[in-house]
């Protein structure tokens, strides 16, 4: 899915949007960035994630808000965080609901054992060979991320195949459970994510209530992958997959080329063909 989306919008547009979301790291102009091949610092990833719980607004981090002396007298106060809207509120909420599914039934579901008393959402991540394990998650009020890895990418740090779900997720869960248990820390402690008015009555299927909406049984399918996409590595691409066309002239950076109209029309024709509706073990 990530590769197909990259083919539709192009590598250059993807990189430009990442920059709008606070990603300053160098991103190679190749389709593999859709699968996480770029080296991006954790703090930049956290800034990019602010748009999801923040109703589409990306917020720059502020590390120190004020400085006081030992008597509480204000010595210096820093400007408030700068925010700008990068996606629509409805799109942001849809992403929140999808990432809630990661914790409810997906690779981050072991976080539920930490009994964090509010809604939560996030995403695991694993570099090939378990050289890195990630979890970035948020509640209606707080955003945090964990990274486990080594400066040398050739040194794996964990022998299990569970990746980010074991390496990063438990640390995030323990941290958030401690924060919510400490009543001395002042923040709103909102229980649920706010739904936009236009989506209050619309179901979003990547959620634990999917069977209630679909009325297709009582059991939930669970995602048992490790978050790095490796379990899909041997699958053949779909018939309607259109790779992004990249031209790499000598001594020049790659440039996106639009997919030929005739090729796009062939893809659309395949999409419009009726297909038998079957139910698989992965249906939500």
Q: What is the CATH number of the domain that holds 187?
A: 3.40.710.10
Residue 262 domain flag = yes
Contacts of 191 (CB under 8 A, 6+ apart): 117, 118, 119, 140
What pLDDT shows up at residue 270? 47
Q: Could you tell me how many helices (H) and strands (E) the chain has, helices first?
A: 8, 9
Residue 12 domain flag = yes
Q: What is the pLDDT along the chain (284 residues), one digit of tens a residue?
A: 788 888 888 999 999 999 999 999 999 998 888 888 888 999 999 999 999 999 999 999 998 999 999 999 999 999 888 899 999 999 999 999 999 999 999 999 999 999 999 999 999 988 877 778 899 999 999 999 999 888 777 777 765 666 778 888 999 999 999 999 999 998 989 999 999 988 876 666 554 455 444 444 344 445 545 454 444 344 444 444 344 444 444 454 445 455 445 444 444 444 555 554 554 444 43
What pLDDT shows up at residue 144? 97
User: 139 with 172, same domain?
Assistant: yes
What pLDDT shows up at residue 151? 76
- Give the chain's domain count: 2
Residue 56 domain flag = no
Which among 148, 150, 119 is positioned nearest to 135, based on CA atoms?
A: 148
Helix (H) or strand (E) holding 262: helix 261-272
Two structure tokens written together for 112:
């539920």
User: 266 with 220, same domain?
Assistant: no
User: 214 with 132, same domain?
Assistant: yes
Residue 137 domain flag = yes
Task: Give the structural domain span for 108.
Answer: 89-235
Residue 43 domain flag = no
Quote the CA–CA distance of 197 and 220 in Å, as a whole number.
28
The answer to whether 151 and 201 have CB atoms below 8 angstroms apart is no
The answer to whether 159 and 211 have CB atoms below 8 angstroms apart is no
The answer to whether 204 and 94 have CB atoms below 8 angstroms apart is yes
User: 118 with 30, same domain?
Assistant: no
Burial pattern 255-274, b for ≥16 Cβ within 10 A else e, equals ebeebeeeeeeebeeeeeee
User: 184 with 140, same domain?
Assistant: yes
User: 221 with 98, same domain?
Assistant: yes
User: 124 with 231, same domain?
Assistant: yes
What pLDDT shows up at residue 104? 94
Residue 201 domain flag = yes
User: 108 with 217, same domain?
Assistant: yes
**What does the pLDDT look like over 166-204, one tens digit per residue?**
888 999 999 999 999 999 998 989 999 999 988 876 666
User: 246 with 231, same domain?
Assistant: no
User: 140 with 174, same domain?
Assistant: yes
User: 253 with 202, same domain?
Assistant: no
What pLDDT shows up at residue 282? 43
Residue 217 domain flag = yes
User: 103 with 185, same domain?
Assistant: yes
């Amino acid at each position: 899915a990530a590769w197909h989306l990259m083919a539709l919008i192009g590598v250059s547009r993807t990189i430009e949007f990442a920059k709008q979301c606070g990603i300053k790291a160098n991103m190679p102009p190749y389709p593999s960035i859709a699968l996480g091949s770029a080296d991006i610092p954790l703090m930049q990833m956290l800034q990019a994630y602010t748009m999801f719980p923040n109703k589409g607004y990306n917020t720059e981090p502020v590390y120190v808000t004020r400085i006081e002396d030992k008597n509480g007298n204000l010595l210096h106060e820093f400007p408030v965080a700068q925010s700008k809207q990068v996606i629509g509120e409805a799109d942001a909420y849809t992403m929140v609901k999808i990432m809630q599914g990661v914790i409810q039934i997906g690779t981050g579901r072991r976080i539920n054992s930490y009994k964090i008393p509010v809604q939560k959402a996030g995403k695991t991540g694993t570099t090939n060979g378990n050289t890195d394990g990630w979890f970035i998650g948020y509640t209606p009020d707080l955003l945090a991320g964990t990274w486990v890895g080594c400066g040398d990418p050739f040194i794996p740090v964990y022998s299990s195949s569970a990746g980010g779900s074991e390496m990063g997720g438990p640390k995030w869960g323990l941290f958030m459970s401690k924060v919510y248990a400490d009543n001395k820390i002042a923040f709103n402690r909102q229980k649920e994510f706010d739904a936009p008015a236009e989506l209050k009555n619309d179901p979003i299927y990547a959620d634990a209530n999917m069977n209630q909406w679909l009325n297709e049984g009582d059991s939930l399918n669970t995602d048992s992958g490790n978050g790095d996409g490796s379990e899909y590595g041997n699958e053949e691409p779909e018939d309607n997959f259109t790779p992004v066309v990249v031209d790499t002239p000598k001594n020049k950076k790659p440039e996106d080329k639009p997919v030929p109209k005739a090729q796009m029309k062939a893809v659309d024709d395949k999409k419009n063909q009726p297909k038998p509706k079957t139910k698989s073990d992965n249906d939500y």
